[in-house]
Structure 1
Amino acid sequence: MPTLNLVLVEPQIPQNTGNIARTCAATGARLHLVGPMGFTIDDKKLKRAGLDYWHLLDITYYENTEDFFRRNAGGEFFYFTTKGRRIHSEVAFPHNAYLVFGREDAGLPEPLLFDHPDRCVRLPMITQARSLNLSNTVAVAAYEALRQWGYPELSSAGQLTKYKWEDKQLG
């Protein structure tokens, strides 16, 4: 099965990281947390945002970006940034891709972006807006990659709690 890798570089807001952890848990994506972070991993706000999904997570921690890139050498990285010139839905994400996101207040380092212009990806938005919320951006990006892959091993049909869909005619 293909693996989606969601990478947060120096996240600063625990609620965002908790929301992203929940997205990872619900989609089977791996979460990579690259330090230094603006909070401790046992932060109550982080745990509250992730709710009771922590047991479903595959998390790897890194001291810094050098540690991350060293331990994941050979990976295919896509850098999500408001400075990107490629639209997320126009990029073909390969299996086992790493979708990399920067700090809420500063984004990814510009030297990293400058060195990889073809891998800098953005979500379209009006020019007057600075950016989307990090956890929203990660969710949109993750689901675009998963859509391209046919939503591997994800359930695409839900069930009602008091009724059976089979009892209802569609159309």
Structure 2
Amino acid sequence: MRLALFQPDIPQNVGACIRLSACFGVELHVIEPTGFNFDDRAMKRAALDYGPLSHMTRHASWDDFQRDRPPGRLVLMTTKGATSLSDFSFKDDDILLFGKESSGAPDYVHAAVDARVIIPLQADARSLNLSVTAGITLWEGLRQTGAIGTL
């Protein structure tokens, strides 16, 4: 299972996902451009010393990511999801894709994915923080595929 962030805006979210990558032993793909410089202090502070343990690959564009990405389904986590997280069946080679914090994923990304999944929220809530969504989704995917017991 892998994480992929589409053009993230907030360095702290990337830092938190670097920690997820390190702690759960999964690849992290960052699809640029980002809304910050990668040497941003806020991202480094959020990632702490987990960077060397992380498995991060940066892609210069969506096209580069599509060309170079590993095999597996693209599963977009979105507020416009078609399937609830509780009803979705993960596979161990899924790539969990998360849109830009400020605007989500554009139509061409939606068109390219294999599944669109939503985490149900209370009616008045718009969305969860990106790194919180990544943690919830990754944990559920790893639990379903039996990878949690191998950590």
TM-score by length of 2: 0.93
Cα distance between partner residues in 2 of 1:16 and 1:37: 11
Q: List 4+ stretches of structure 1 deviating above 6 A.
A: none
Structure 1 residue ranges without an equivalent (≥5): 155-171
Name which of 57, 81, 85 aligns with 1:84.
81
Q: 1:106 to 1:92 in 2, by over 3 A?
A: same
Matched, 1:124 2:136: no
- The amino acid that maps onto 2:8 is P
**Which has the larger Rg?**
1
Displacement, 1:91? 1.3
CA RMSD of aligned residues (A): 1.5
Cα distance between partner residues in 2 of 1:133 and 1:27: 19
Matched, 1:45 2:42: yes
Matched, 1:134 2:130: yes
Displacement, 1:23? 1.1
Displacement, 1:114? 4.6
Conserved 8 A contact 2:75-2:95: yes
Q: Deviations over 1:121-162 (max 9, x none)?
A: 0100022211100010000000000101221521xxxxxxxx
Cα distance between partner residues in 1 of 2:126 and 2:116: 17
Aligned residue in 1 for 2:150:
153
**Structure 2 SS opposite 1:79:** strand
Write out aligned runs for 1:1-171 (5 A): 4-72=1-69, 74-114=71-111, 116=113, 119-150=115-146, 151-154=148-151
Displacement, 1:74? 4.3
Q: Deviations over 1:93-117 (max 9, x none)?
A: 111110000100101112432565x
- The amino acid that maps onto 1:50 is A
Conserved 8 A contact 2:71-2:93: no
**Structure 2 SS opposite 1:31:** strand
Structure 2 residue ranges without an equivalent (≥5): none
- The amino acid that maps onto 1:32 is H
